[in-house]
Amino acid sequence: MNITKRVLPTLFVALISSTAFAAVNGPVKAVTLSSGGLAEIVRSAEVGNDSEITIEVPLDQVDDVLKSLIVRDAKGHVKGLSLAGPNPLDETFRTLPFKPADLTSMPRLLDAIKGTRVRAGEKEGVVLGVTATEGEKETKSWQLSLMTDGGEIAMVPVPGTKVEILDDSIKAKLKTAIDVVAKGNTDGARTITLKLDGQAARNVDISYVVPAPIWKTSYRLVTGKDGTVRLQAWAIFENATGEDWIDVAVTLSSGKPVTLRQALHQHFMRSRTEVPVDTGAVTLSKARASMVKQGAARNQAGSLMAQDQSAYLEAQPAPAAAPFAMAAAEQTDNDAFRDGIRDVTRADADICVWNSKRFSQESIHWR
């Protein structure tokens, strides 16, 4: 009995992920899935003069996008790429006078901005601090200390009192902190912004490689009444990019590629060797050791001189050193550079630099 084998066209079964990271612009137009667990995503966007392309990338895929991103622009070029750092919350609060926990309590926030000018009820002044006092039934009440323009210290109860921050700089920092905290609550993606330089309407393609589930195969034999057998091969893959694929060209690639990854979105600081400051100090142990060596050298020299001058009966007194020579030696050992009178404020530093044997002088001053 003859058996006829016919292979039907491959059937694709796509499983759509529920998580959504929709691209602002630049929809997906082609995807190449590899059996090695990678996917090449190709996007196409219509741009004009000096345009931007922004895409949302899951946080765990940012390293791969930075490593493999390619921009194909026939009539322009890339001006730059920007995205938020790995820990925007910590990086932002590092330069702020308060911490994320201070935003949850008015007493803590006011205590963190000491020296800031505020208006609390009818009082206006500079915040000195917030203190807790024991109230009834072991409850605590908070008192805000203010110093008014007249030099008076006012105590204002914090609960039930409207407090307005009058310092524009602190208000701006507070707004920045609130925005970062709001974004940090859903910190699962990064917005990558591509800035393009070009002076014409055109299509720009961008591609990058990210991890993806491997695609699988499933085979089955279908027998007919006439004795024929058909072999069906199904390819099963998943759309794990987080956005819908509409009119997307899908290519399946098989093989066993070697896949690597590199942490390009993390901070790496290079350690440096600290050079100690030479203070010129001599310890007592080193001074004693030097004196012992000098004494031994003198004794050895005296013994040799006694042997060479055995006929010399009486040692003559050593001649006095010339005053000029002594002054010169003293000047050489204890040289003092006089720079005139200077005004140096507390917590400031002043450096004087002498060049070419003190014929020219430069001064450096910093706070």
Residue 179, pLDDT > 80, answer yes
Instruction: Read off the pLDDT of each residue in 124-148 and give the average, rounded to a whole number.
Output: 82
**What pLDDT is stored for residue 229 in this prediction?**
92
Phi-psi region of 103 (alpha: psi -120 to 50; beta: other; left: phi over 0): alpha
**What pLDDT is stored for residue 215 in this prediction?**
92
Phi and psi (nearest 5°) for 175?
-65, -40
Question: How much of the chain exceeds pLDDT 90, in percent?
Answer: 24
User: What pLDDT, in 10s, does the model give residues 219-251?
Assistant: 999 998 888 999 999 999 999 888 889 999 999
Q: Does this model's pTM top 0.85?
A: no
Q: Where are the domains of the chain?
A: 5-85+190-253, 89-184
Question: What pLDDT band is residue 210 in, cutting at 50, 70 and 90?
Answer: very high
Instruction: Read off the pLDDT of each residue in 115-122 and give the average, rounded to a whole number.
Output: 90
Residue 325, pLDDT > 70, answer no
User: What pLDDT, in 10s, does the model give residues 306-315?
Assistant: 555 554 445 4
* Most confident option among 264-268, 298-302, 334-338: 264-268
Instruction: Read off the pLDDT of each residue in 260-272 and give the average, rounded to a whole number.
Output: 89
**What pLDDT is stored for residue 300 in this prediction?**
67
Instruction: Read off the pLDDT of each residue in 46-63 and give the average, rounded to a whole number.
Output: 88
* 89-184: CATH number: 2.30.30
